[in-house]
Amino acid sequence: MISLNPKDLSTGKLHSYLLSAVAPRPIAFASTIDAKGQPNLSPFSFFNVFSANPPILIFSPARRGRDNTTKHTLHNVEATKEVVINVVNYDIVQQMSLSSTEYPEGVNEFDKAGLTMLKSDKVKPFRVAESPVQFECKVNEIMYLGKEGGAGNLVICEVLKLHITEEVLNEDETINQEALDLVARAGGSYYSRAKKGFFEIPKPLQKLGIGVDGMPENVRNSMILTGNNLGMLANVEALPSQGEVDKFIDEVSQRYPDIKTASHRKKHKLAQNYLSYGDVESAWKLLLS
């Protein structure tokens, strides 16, 4: 066994140990608005429930380790003292991951991730309509744990109203954990699906992905592609060129002779198959043909 003094480790190394060892961690998909009323959406895995009476949730938008800057979510809860915490199930995990991209201030991550804004009853921030459980909260207190990169900022939230989709409820109105199908965060690129175990999602691009709102309409509004499919497709810096698309179609036409005249539906199903293997580039070339 190795024994380590935290003060002897770089913040990045210590951060890696902490996140890999204290795992899996639930995800707070935090919806806020800024002082001008502009929406923001971002996930945080420093999160849990700490009290039932009063109902208290705490999450921490930590200071960035690389440059000691703070996040839009922290600025927003400081300004408005309100937040909606949405839980993350497997159906929206790719879109959630995409929303963690550091888009500039004022960019609406709901649009980028292809998620639906749902008006709240008690607070101004919007709920994520696709999330199976949503907590409308007031911010009681913010505890600042330090001034250096990596320091946490504990946002202590009191639940004013919660919303639970009927699809995850048992007949006695308890939550069915298997139907809820939550995901949690672990170290590196690892996540954990509560009922199936670990899987990986590549971290979003440092160079900004195009987002769901940057997709062609027939892809964005597909009746075949899932939210997770869209989340994967949106995490590209640019779409393939027409020359790249044409070359790809010529190659795959040997396997699919009717691909050039195939319907959107068939192309979307084939693209979905490529995505199941993580081949986003080929999926895009097929969708743009």
Q: pLDDT tens for residues 81-106?
A: 999 999 999 999 999 999 999 898 88
Q: Domain residues of the chain, as ranges? A: 6-200, 212-287
Quote the pLDDT of residue 252.
86
The answer to whether 283 touches 274, Cβ cutoff 8 Å, is yes
Q: pLDDT tens for residues 23-75?
A: 899 999 999 999 999 999 999 999 999 999 999 999 999 988 788 888 999 99
Q: pLDDT tens for residues 180-189?
A: 999 999 999 9
Length of the chain: 289
Look at 155 and 12; give whichever has higher pLDDT.
155
Q: What are phi and psi of 269, to 5 degrees?
A: -65, -40
Please give the C-alpha separations between residue 38 and each of 84, 86, 109, 168, 274, in angstroms, as whole numbers. Answer: 14, 18, 10, 31, 36
- For domain 6-200, give its CATH number from 3.90.180.10, 3.40.50.720, 3.40.50.300, 2.30.110.10: 2.30.110.10
SS (H, E, C) 34-52: CCCCCEEEEEECCEEEEEE
CA 191 – CA 232 distance, rounded (Å): 15
Helices (H), the chain: 11-21, 72-80, 93-99, 109-113, 177-180, 217-220, 227-234, 242-252, 264-276, 280-287
β-sheet with 183-185: strand ranges across: 183-185, 190-193, 197-200
247: confidence class by pLDDT, cuts 50, 70, 90: very high
Q: What is the mean pLDDT of residues 124-133?
A: 98
Quote the pLDDT of residue 206.
66
Q: Is the pLDDT of residue 260 over 90?
A: no
Strands 127-128 and 39-44: unpaired
205: confidence class by pLDDT, cuts 50, 70, 90: low
The answer to whether 31 touches 41, Cβ cutoff 8 Å, is yes
Q: Is the pLDDT of residue 207 over 90?
A: no
Quote the pLDDT of residue 182.
97
β-sheet with 153-164: strand ranges across: 39-44, 28-33, 82-86, 133-144, 153-164, 55-59, 47-52
Quote the pLDDT of residue 67.
86
